[in-house]
Amino acid sequence: MREIEFRGYDGAEWVYGTAVNYDKYTNTWYLLEHGGPDDDWIKVSRVGQYTGLKDKHGTKIFEGDIVQIKGHPTNDYIPIDGNHEVYYNEHMVLCVSGWQLFLQLPLVTVVGNKFDQPELLNN
């Protein structure tokens, strides 16, 4: 079974927790912080769930991360090398630019996320 974990930005730093809650009336996300005092719900933005996958260096991959693929064997005739956003497609398959993420893992390195470094996607 995969680990369930979320991250969100609290305005100063990324915080990690075990659950999120969305208040549709105030358009606000809340995260239950790991090891927080009394299981406090913290107001956050930029929410993403841990995918259950790690890059080739053991770094956890979250929704919204930007990963770099380098050295793909088909790159000469099907360009895939470069930076890609991690997302779920309409079939709930984890993807990077339409490619299934789990098939690319030996070539993947997390280089940032779409919130803090959107310029990394301009390659």
> CB 36: neighbour CB atoms within 10 A?
14
pLDDT at position 123, please?
A: 57
- Identify the CA nearest to 31 among candidates 64, 39, 11: 39
* Mean predicted lDDT score pLDDT of the chain: 88
pTM beyond cutoff 0.75: yes
Mean pLDDT of the 36-51 span: 85
pLDDT in tens, 69-118: 998 888 788 888 889 999 988 888 888 877 888 888 899 999 999 999 99
